[in-house]
């Protein structure tokens, strides 16, 4: 946890929280201004785009709180630097060690608060029927989207097992891909582009796709014919997680034999 940082260096901890809040606002500002100018785009009106951006910020908030540390959100760094040795010598499973070192409830809560506030405001502008099942669906989709992003970043990070210098920062590339693209609605794009962003490069699954389903469910337009679509995001997140675990285990076997020629004790958290 980051409580120790907050107590030792409150000033800079608060500065980072404030900076994260500004980053959250900047991330959504471009799409929001475009929707204001054109009255909505991508098959969504202004309020619906605002809801999608609120959902996107909510997902970012979950990531910031639970996975912002190098050992989870940016695992390519510790693999590329050879710092995975620090994790392997601990008397706990590797997955537990990685998860425990990414938890930042104080310095990472600003994005989550912004996401909750923006989503609540967007819902108040829409004719959505907020019920307990709808809120549960919102939570399931937010957790699934976060798991999808983490799995995608970790899958890319496995390249650092084999090319530690070249792939040290590849997790950041994956994170930037979602940060820059997931807030754009895909409703008016061609079917081929949409399929690409919902499968191979799953940025559409991080915000647009679940937002569309949540809006339809809130409008009362959800029926049994959409059940397969409703299960797609959790199923995709689960499948990608399994693939990531398999590839990561293969990389760990390679690392156990070859290690890393770039070991550095600097910056380990």
Higher pLDDT, 188 or 147: 147
Grade residue 136 by pLDDT with cuts at 50, 70 and 90: very high
The tens digit of pLDDT for each residue in 17-76 reads 788 778 777 766 766 776 666 566 678 888 888 899 889 989 988 998 888 776 667 888
Q: Which two tokens stand for residue 142?
A: 């937010």
pTM, two decimals, is 0.87
Q: Which two tokens stand for residue 230?
A: 């409703």
The tens digit of pLDDT for each residue in 222-235 reads 777 788 899 999 99
């Amino acid at each position: 946890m980051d409580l120790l940082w907050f107590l030792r260096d409150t000033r800079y901890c608060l500065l980072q929280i404030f900076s994260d809040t500004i980053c959250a606002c900047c991330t959504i500002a471009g799409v929001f201004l475009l929707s204001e100018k054109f009255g909505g785009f991508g098959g969504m009106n202004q309020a619906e785009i605002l809801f999608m951006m609120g959902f996107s910020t909510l997902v970012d908030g979950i990531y910031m709180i639970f996975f912002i540390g190098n050992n989870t959100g940016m695992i390519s760094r510790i693999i590329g630097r050879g710092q995975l040795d620090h994790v392997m010598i601990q008397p706990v499973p590797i997955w537990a060690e990685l998860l425990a070192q990414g938890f930042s409830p104080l310095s990472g809560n600003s994005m989550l608060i912004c996401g909750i506030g923006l989503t609540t405001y967007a819902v108040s502008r829409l004719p959505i029927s907020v019920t307990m099942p709808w809120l549960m669906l919102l939570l399931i989709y937010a957790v699934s989207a976060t798991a999808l992003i983490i799995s995608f970043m970790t899958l890319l990070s496995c390249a650092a097992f084999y090319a530690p210098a070249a792939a040290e920062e590849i997790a950041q590339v994956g994170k930037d891909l979602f940060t820059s693209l997931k807030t754009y609605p895909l409703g008016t794009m061609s079917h081929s582009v949409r399929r690409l962003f919902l499968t191979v490069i799953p940025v559409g699954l991080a915000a647009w796709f679940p937002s569309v389903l949540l809006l339809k469910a809130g409008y009362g337009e959800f029926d049994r014919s959409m059940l397969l679509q409703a299960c797609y995001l959790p199923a995709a997140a689960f499948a990608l997680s399994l693939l990531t675990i398999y590839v990561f285990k293969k990389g760990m076997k390679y690392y156990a034999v070859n290690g890393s020629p770039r070991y550095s004790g600097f910056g380990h958290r």
